[in-house]
Structure 1
Amino acid sequence: MKLKFTYGFLFLYFFGFSQELHLPVFTQYLADNHFVLSPTFAGIGDNLRIRANGLTQWVGIKNAPQNQSLYADFRIRNRSGIGLSLYNDSNGNTSQTGAKFSFAHHIILDYYSKQYLSFGLSYNINSFKIDISKFNTTHEIPILDPSIINNRSISNNNFDVGLLYRNKGFYASLNATNVLPKSIDRFTGIEPSLILNYQLYSGYLIKNSYNRNIEIEPSIFFQYFAGDQRSTTDINIKYRRYNSYDDYYWAGVSYRFLNDQALNPLAVGPMAGFKKANFYFGYSYQITLSQIAAYNSGTHMITLGFDFLQGISDCPCTQSPVHD
């Protein structure tokens, strides 16, 4: 009984807040697609960029979370970009599906020192569902609640806003997700109305002065959840190597922890991938280091991508810093 309680507590702790509040962020953004984190990255680059992610968490545990997502963004005119995000996230008998429609505008702060500032806005629509068809009685709960007679669902609308600063190889973005409070049933008192969370993402693209085909990219990702004041941090590093055709392969590692337990990581894992012509592939594996690690074999994520319609902008503020 104690074991079941521990497992249930961890399951709810890490993902009870993830659904309906925000789409869980793993390492999708490290698959050369920062648009996952913020609308401010929409339109930075020379292509219509599409990335599809499939994630299976805690392999070996029944009804563990599953996630599928699709991201697409491209530039319009010289200084703006638009993007679309679609996702489906399931966790046991609950699931959420949704979409984000994003717009970004990029300006030059200083042409010669390559300083740029970007503004981003997303409109979000989310549908949260509970499927009662698989509810079963247990020894502890011999009778189901008779008031639950059909599946439940609710839809929410919200907005994200963000800022992005770039200076040569350095970048830093600040994003606020779900800026509007959620409408709730004030008589139940069990739902949070404040679903705002802040995300800070920063990194630096280091180019090898002796070999321009080699890049190293350390980065950090910080999340703060205003509702319960939790926060987490990812520390990442990537290695990227190009060939003479601008194809490349990369490898890296990510380390995630709660900020009040920096030396007790939640997960750590390697990543690898490659880009060949217009095709992109990435794989990420996360080893769970909490108490639940004994009951699963880790989290796996695959990213597939395609780049289309190459068109170089006249404005450097929309050109990708990767291998420029």
Structure 2
Amino acid sequence: MYSIKIKIAAVVLFTVALSVNAAAQQIFKVSQYMENSFIHNPAAVGANDVTTVGGVFRSQWAGIDGSPKTVMLFGDTYIPSKNTGVGVVLYSDKTGPTSRTGGNFNVSYSVKLDGDDKKRLMMGLGAEVIQFKVDKDKIAEFIPNDPLLASSGSTIKGDASAGVYLRTPKLTIGASAFQLIQPKLDFVKSSTNVDGKLYRHFFFTASYCIVTDESNVLLPHVEVRYQPNAPADYEAGIMLLHKDLIHVGVSAHYKQDYTIFAGLKIDHKFTIGYAYDVYNHPINTFNGGNGAHEVSLRYFFKK
């Protein structure tokens, strides 16, 4: 019964978004954002100074049929002789009858502060190609007269992003903007309907490194997500790193959920991370739908 209600709600909400140009969060959430900074900031590609590859799988509202599921593959590298970072992010994001598949190509340029390569102000630009698809069969099952059924159910758009990222041994601060071009989706066109479009999203992140002893480091961090005409989204937490071997942490997503996460780094090169989100009311009232699972893998090509 709950799965049917969720399917209907997803269809209705998506149709309303197309009809009234509703400003909702359109970019997927990642709980382990501190481990993968360049996913939401093109300026952070190359910040680790080495070539890396990895991926993230996230299943949100686990147990609810049609819940959001995100898969990402990514890689980045830094070219010291050019003070340049290059990165790619490929992703597939599905929620109910809708899916979003795309890729980002990002480039950053670093300015050394005080001639120290470990203190850099990084500036980045990104280009994105996105394909939106709607499973019309799922919509027809519940809303047989929806005007969306007369469309192709698929559209491909291009967009852009930009950011800045300050990286020092102690402090990191980042600010970025996504979906700068704001292209229209053009799924449904009529004299009484305003086409849905992509909306600009702004991200702000910060973290500070507190060395407690020779083996342990505390890393408090915060992320703010903002979109015009929508409430700001806040998340903050703290992570403990032990000997570049293991990390554990907790974070809280304001009025939405809290997260516990942990990771293991093997031979200083291969990182495995896991995060579990517990959602607040009302999502937690659904049977089996009160959590999210996120697994991340990343390999650092170090000598």
| TM-score bracket for this pair, using the shorter chain length | 0.7 to 0.9
Q: Aligned match of 1:271 in 261, 273, 279?
A: 261
1:250, distance to aligned residue in structure 2 (A): 0.4
The equivalent residue for 1:178 is: 179
In the aligned structure 2, how far is the partner of 1:195 from the partner of 1:54?
Answer: 25
Is 1:293 paired with 2:297? no
TM value normalised by structure 2: 0.85
The answer as to 2:211 corresponding to 1:202 is no
CA distance in 2, matches of 1:146, 1:213: 61
In structure 1, distance between residues paired with 2:22 and 2:39: 16
Q: Of the candidates 218, 225, 228, which is equivalent to residue 227 of structure 2?
A: 225
Does residue 1:255 correspond to 2:252, yes or no? yes
Q: 1:280 aligns with which of 271, 281, 290?
A: 271
In 2, distance between residues paired with 1:159 and 1:146? 30
- Work out the CA distance in 2 between the residues paired with 1:19 and 1:72: 30
Contact 2:131 2:156 survives alignment (8 Å)? yes
Q: Partner letter of residue 218 of structure 2?
A: I
Shift of 1:181: 2.8
Q: Deviations over 1:126-172 (max 9, x none)?
A: 0000111334545xx5x444872565111111111111123431111
Partner residue of 1:260? Answer: none
CA contact (8 A) 1:28 1:36 kept: no
Greater fraction of residues in helix:
2
Q: SS of the residue aligned with 1:133?
A: helix
* Counterpart residue number, 2:240: 239
Q: In structure 2, how many angstroms separate the alpha carbons of the residues matched to 1:28 and 1:183?
A: 30
Matched pairs, number: 290
Structure 1 position 304 matched with structure 2 position 294: no
Cα offset, 1:29, TM superposition: 1.5
Distance 1:235 1:197, change over 3 A: same
**Could you say what secondary structure the match of 2:138 adopts?**
coil
Q: In structure 2, do the counterparts of structure 1 residues 298 and 125 end up closer, same or farther at CA, with 3 Å as the change threshold?
A: same
Map 1:1-324 to 2 at 5 A: 4=5, 8=9, 12=13, 22-30=26-34, 32-78=35-81, 79-111=83-115, 115-138=119-142, 141=143, 143-145=144-146, 148-149=149-150, 151-183=152-184, 187=191, 189-193=193-197, 195-208=199-212, 211-226=213-228, 228-242=229-243, 247-257=244-254, 265-277=255-267, 278-295=269-286, 296-308=289-301, 310=302
Q: Distance in 2 between matches of 1:213 and 1:116?
A: 25
- The answer to whether the Cα contact below 8 Å between 1:171 and 1:203 also exists between their aligned partners in 2 is yes
In structure 1, how many angstroms separate the alpha carbons of the residues matched to 2:47 and 2:29? 21
Deviation at 1:111? 3.3
Deviations 1:161-210 (A, max 9, x none): 111123431111110111113236574544454611111101101112xx
In 1: Cα distance, 2:241 partner to 2:90 partner:
28
- For structure 1, the residue ranges without an aligned partner over 5 or more in a row are 258-264, 312-324
Q: Which residue of 2 aligns with 1:316?
A: none
Note the residue ranges of structure 2 that are not aligned, 5 or more in a row: none
Contact 2:155/2:185 (8 A) holds in 1: no
- Which residue type is aligned with residue 132 of structure 2? F
Name the SS of the counterpart of 2:149 in structure 1.
coil
Q: 1:57 to 1:288 in 2, by over 3 A?
A: same
Find the aligned partners of 1:19 and 1:84 in 2 and give their Cα distance.
27
Q: Which amino acid aligns with 1:152?
A: G
Residue pair 2:179, 2:200 contacting (<8 A) in 1 also: yes
AA aligned to 2:234 is T
SS in 1 for 2:99: strand
Distance 1:83 1:269 in 2: 27
The alignment partner of 2:161 has SS state of strand
Contact 2:23 / 2:230 at 8 angstroms: preserved in 1? no
Provide the residue aligned with 1:319 in structure 2.
none
Please tell me whether the aligned partners of residues 233 and 256 of structure 1 are also in contact (alpha carbons under 8 angstroms).
yes
When residues 193 and 135 of structure 1 are mapped into structure 2, their CA distance, relative to the original with a 3 A threshold, is: closer
- Cα distance per residue 1:8-59 (max 9 Å; x no partner): 38x949xx699997431221313x2211221111112242111211111111
